Amino acid sequence: MTDHSAPDTGEKRPALIPATPAGIARAAELLRAGRLVAFPTETVYGLGADATDDRAVAAIFAAKGRPQFNPLIVHVPDLVAAHSWGLFDDRAHDLATQFWPGPLTMVVPRPANSALSLLVSAGLDSIAIRVPNHPVAQAILRATGKPIAAPSANRSGAVSPTTPHHVLESLGDRVDAIVTGGKCMVGLESTVIDLTGPEAVLLRPGAVLPDEMERLIGPVRLSAGDPTAPKSPGQLESHYAPNAAVRLNASSAEEDEAFLTFGPDRFVFGGATRLNLSLEGDLNEAAANLFSHLRSLDQSGAKRIAVMPIPEVGLGMAINDRLRRAAAPRG
Using the rule CB under 5 A, is 191 a contact of Mg ion? no
For 330, other C-beta atoms within 10 Å of its C-beta total 9
In the window 230-249, what residues touch ligand TXA (CB under 6 A)?
233, 236
Report the residue count for the chain: 331
C-alpha torsion sign, points 133, 151, 286, 251: negative
- The answer to whether 156 touches 66, Cβ cutoff 8 Å, is yes
Residue 215 known to bind ligand: no
Nearer to Mg ion, 46 or 242 (CB): 46
Q: How far is CA 90 from the centre of its chain?
A: 25
Contact pattern from residue 105 through residue 144 relative to ligand TXA, giving x for each residue in contact according to CB under 6 A and a dash for the rest: x-x-------------x--x-xxx-x-x------------
190 binding partner (options Mg ion, ligand TXA, none; Cβ < 5 to 8 Å by kind): ligand TXA
Give the bridge partners for 108, in sequence order. Answer: 127
Q: How far, CA to CA in Å, does 217 sit from each of 101, 221, 225, 231, 323?
A: 18, 12, 18, 21, 37
- The answer to whether 253 touches 306, Cβ cutoff 8 Å, is yes
Write the CB contacts of 4 (distance below 8 Å, at least 6 apart in sequence).
34, 35, 55, 56, 59, 284
Nearer to ligand TXA, 189 or 285 (CB): 189
Q: Which stretch binds ligand TXA (CB under 6 A): 39-47, 77-85, 90-98, 285-293?
A: 39-47
Q: Which stretch binds Mg ion (CB under 5 A): 3-11, 54-62, 86-94, 152-160?
A: 152-160
- The answer to whether 193 touches 213, Cβ cutoff 8 Å, is yes
Please state the closest distance from residue 305 (CB atom) to ligand TXA, in A. 23
**Angle at CA of residue 234, ends 233 and 236, nearest 5°:** 70
Using the rule CB under 5 A, is 284 a contact of Mg ion? no
Please state the closest distance from residue 10 (CB atom) to ligand TXA, in A. 30
Q: Which of 114, 152, 276, 320 binds Mg ion (CB under 5 A)?
A: 152
Q: Which of 15, 35, 43, 51 binds ligand TXA (CB under 6 A)?
A: 43
Q: Which stretch binds Mg ion (CB under 5 A): 4-12, 72-80, 145-153, 176-184?
A: 145-153
Using the rule CB under 6 A, is 162 a contact of ligand TXA? no
Please state the closest distance from residue 315 (CB atom) to Mg ion, in A. 18
Write the CB contacts of 124 (distance below 8 Å, at least 6 apart in sequence).
71, 110, 236, 238, 239, 240
Interacting residues toward ligand TXA by CB under 6 A: 41, 43-44, 46, 70-73, 105, 107, 121, 124, 126-128, 130, 132, 150-152, 189-190, 192, 194, 203-204, 233, 236
Q: What residues form the annotated binding site for ATP? A: 66, 70, 152, 160, 204, 240
